[in-house]
Amino acid sequence: MVHAEPVSAYPPASSRTLEQWLDPGLGAPHGPELRTRLREIADARAALAAMWAAFLSLGISAVLFGGVLFAVTGRAASTVPWMAVGAVFAVVSALFLNRVRRWVPRPGTSLSVRGPGNLRSGLWAAGGILFLLNVLMVIGSLTTGRVLVMVLVDLGMVLLLVSALVVPSAILGRSRPILRRQAHEDPRLAATLERERLSWTPDGRTPMFGPL
């Protein structure tokens, strides 16, 4: 059976090879706002990867913070379970994050993302929250003298903000370069994208297969 692409004002997916569609130079003239199938794939993959990467970072942060608390307080009964849960959480998140590498979403898949969309915005958001929190904690430590408590809370907030804001925003801001790099490094992902190129047809929302 011969696959026939519908008539469109845009170049069909078969007009270029996958390598050409992935070329960053091809995307420059079209602008980042143009919706294409490859960009849809990259953005959906990045949204899912950002979520699992945030969970992975939270698990690692729980282990690190629990280790610091154990070193400071010596209370194994309260810190070791915390670290164990964090380690399990990190391992499970890493497994799901690895599965995202070969996942290609169906046409029309759109995952909503709330929060900073690039690394700079994530750093500004995390830095602003941390600054305001430190202002309040400094005032409190001056009246109570509990400097160690302030340092521990500060460390916990840094780990939390990095996991919740910085790590996801770094992935979201580089969704398209990440897909390009992974397609070059992973033959199975490249083969899946090639099958998508050969079978995909444009619709009302996504007029072109590429560029990325």
Average pLDDT over residues 136-163: 83
Measured between alpha carbons, how far apart are the two ends of the chain, in Å? Answer: 29
Q: For 167, phi and psi rounded to 5 degrees?
A: -60, -50
Q: For 166, phi and psi rounded to 5 degrees?
A: -75, -50
Position 202 confidence tier, pLDDT thresholds 50, 70, 90: confident
Check whether 7 has a pLDDT greater than 50: no
Give pLDDT, residue 102: 87
Give pLDDT, residue 161: 95
3-state secondary structure of 29: helix
Check whether 9 has a pLDDT greater than 70: no
3-state secondary structure of 23: coil
Q: Is pLDDT larger for residue 101 or for residue 5?
A: 101
CA atoms within 13 A of residue 121's CA, in its CB half-sphere? 12
Q: Give, as one character, the DSSP assignment of residue 209.
A: S
**This prediction's pTM:** 0.86
- Which spans in the chain are helix H? 18-22, 24-27, 37-73, 76-100, 119-144, 147-161, 167-172, 175-185, 187-199
Spans of all domains in the chain: 17-199
Average pLDDT of the chain, as a whole number: 87
